[in-house]
Structure 1
């Protein structure tokens, strides 16, 4: 081992994981939606491409001691791109580095490509997966959870809101919402991309079904022009909307600010953003009041910086949760547990529950709340079973 290191990095590996599922993410296929030869489908409701499987990218960093740190990053489309960035660019320059220098390493890796304009997209996703693995390895070597490395744990549990009601009709989605409320959950979010019978009609039906005490959120999937979004959200406010998410295109900062100032409920943004540099102008413009970092994009270092900045701007953090096998979910819970202003964490039940079997540890979500893992590092690891879903897709 190199002098003055926790455990010098000896090897960096990546694995594309693709877990089959009967019903695609967000719910059954609608008219005109098909799965193509590469396993993708485009949702007509928001013109966005999704995989028909639960697809992700795992990162394994091995130290000279033989200890292993696990990371995971956003890999639901073209995971080969992120894999190649890590295998060809990032992994080789990490050899010999000290994983305890996670923040310094993140800054160094960011600098590698910043002059070429790679301050977003697949490159930052790759940095996020590396970053999570570094924290995991450091925590394991030191025998402490990641939350300790971040300054301490404030929350052993985090309230979870149920995200998505993957059923075909409003009535079926209302029935599913009632099932989750019966299990102890107090927040429900529905997807505008799936509301073929009308967004306002769906909101009204859900409110009538669940009663006045449940928080209802809506994901608008970047569908609207700012004035359209304001008009729609004001109609939803009549049914006591908890927050509106992503009403206009993510690059439309001016439109985001217009919507935020023109509605009477919190606006939530940020799942597609990766750095404090992208969040900062939105903080300054008061373009939202709820911040939604997705740790599969940001990694832990940026997630925490974004969370601390949100606190300085008196905004809440409600982390986003995407398709994963649970490794970056554990990272999100660890990081969120160190922040003050976290009223909820998103719960993608159709992903989290089925894939929890592929991790070890005490991470869980039940009775309306997540249990933050208690073990060293992330507190979870991939089980051996997950590696039967490793793929290398060929053109």
Structure 2
């Protein structure tokens, strides 16, 4: 008799940061009592610490799988969705077919409009854990379950330059260039002298061959985005990420068709349905699936849809213990359309102690983890930090 799911447990994992994500808080961005601050450049809330949600699933045979999703704010919402609803409908299922379980869980709330947000984040964590178990039971990696690696290594770009001046950000980029990385992305909301001045300084410091992208953080109207992109394009802009608000599909269509710079979108999407709504209208050049929001099942569906439309896949790098990053690297290595993967160096490097395994990012590329399932396990230190939800 095959193993079935016996238990589903949910935890938070919280880690302090010396500097908040995207760099030091600017004037007017002081954290509140919960440690949340709002970036004026994109009006979005961020914690002053790292926090993610871990899901531990164990089978009747004792096989354990780990999943992960975002817990940046209101982690109890995701925990309650799993504990009160999703866990009971996962227990007793055969984990060898994670996609079937994902679709059943998604349909539970379809008629109530829960096609995104915390609900699908909760599904993503369960989905990743089930794929981890499926690989362990088959004694194969997740990439093998998905048809095998198409890429033995994945080129990585340095994302975010969390320093408080342009000069320091250029110096930080140069330090990574010296370590074998020649692709970079800066965050427009914290480019204090403006995105055009930021890319001009980076271009001068990194030379003509470096690839430099801008994350525009969904913060412009279509006309504002077009003007900014044209200004940055004069300095060799690699791609423009999230140029307009995610709800503004008409604006995305206008920007993507009005500029020659490749448009990159999709970090915040939850399912391939989100992509279908946009790909029919917009000239999307790059799709950026985020494993922590999508899970392996929808991540792969988006990657396959991108391949069918001739769109490159450059996944958004996940922020957490590394479990959903390992899932992202496993799935990315199995997708034909993958060309790069984001490298959140300010999180990966200090948090690498939380994982056991050989996943790494060096000399400009990710090395996918070997081993069965995700190919990584939480370290004893990480397990000691878990708090039940």
Please classify the TM superposition score into its range, dividing by the shorter chain length: over 0.9
CA separation in 2, counterparts of 1:387 and 1:338? 29
CA separation in 1, counterparts of 2:69 and 2:286? 23
Q: Is the 1:163–1:188 contact (alpha carbons within 8 Å) kept by the matching residues of 2?
A: yes
CA separation in 1, counterparts of 2:226 and 2:388? 45
Q: Is the 1:253–1:287 contact (alpha carbons within 8 Å) kept by the matching residues of 2?
A: no
Q: Is the 1:361–1:379 contact (alpha carbons within 8 Å) kept by the matching residues of 2?
A: yes
Hey, what does 1:231 align to over in structure 2? 227
CA separation in 2, counterparts of 1:225 and 1:281? 19
* 2:255 counterpart of 1:240: no
2:76 equivalent among 77, 80, 88 = 80
> What TM-score, normalized by structure 2, do the two folds share?
0.98
The SS at the match of 1:99 is coil
1:257 equivalent among 250, 253, 260 = 253
Give how far 1:287 is off: 4.2
Hey, what does 1:130 align to over in structure 2? 126
Q: Deviations over 1:327-365 (max 9, x none)?
A: 000000000000112121000000111111100000011
Give how far 1:392 is off: 6.2
CA separation in 1, counterparts of 2:283 and 2:68? 29
Identify which range, 281-290 or 267-276, moves more after superposition.
281-290
Q: Is the 2:319–2:325 contact (alpha carbons within 8 Å) kept by the matching residues of 1?
A: no
CA separation in 1, counterparts of 2:193 and 2:355? 38
Give how far 1:391 is off: 3.8
Give how far 1:102 is off: 0.6
| Runs of at least 4 residues off by over 2 Å | 387-393
* 2:317 counterpart of 1:321: yes
Hey, what does 1:158 align to over in structure 2? 154
Hey, what does 1:90 align to over in structure 2? 86
Hey, what does 1:360 align to over in structure 2? 356
CA separation in 2, counterparts of 1:100 and 1:37? 44
Q: Deviations over 1:175-224 (max 9, x none)?
A: 01100100000101000010111111111111011000000000001111
The SS at the match of 2:109 is helix
CA separation in 1, counterparts of 2:172 and 2:241? 21
Q: Which runs of 5+ in 2 are unaligned?
A: none
Hey, what does 2:293 align to over in structure 1? 297
Hey, what does 1:309 align to over in structure 2? 305
Q: Is the 1:258–1:287 contact (alpha carbons within 8 Å) kept by the matching residues of 2?
A: no
Q: Is the 1:135–1:146 contact (alpha carbons within 8 Å) kept by the matching residues of 2?
A: yes
Hey, what does 1:192 align to over in structure 2? 188
Note the 1:1-395 alignment, pairs <5 A: 3=1, 5=2, 7-391=3-387
Give how far 1:388 is off: 3.4
CA separation in 2, counterparts of 1:183 and 1:31? 33
CA separation in 2, counterparts of 1:151 and 1:167? 41
The SS at the match of 1:234 is helix
Total equivalences in the alignment: 389
Q: Which runs of 5+ in 1 are unaligned?
A: none
CA separation in 2, counterparts of 1:333 and 1:392? 27
CA separation in 2, counterparts of 1:277 and 1:343? 22
Give how far 1:387 is off: 3.0
> What TM-score, normalized by structure 1, do the two folds share?
0.97
The SS at the match of 1:239 is coil
CA separation in 1, counterparts of 2:33 and 2:243? 31
The SS at the match of 1:268 is strand
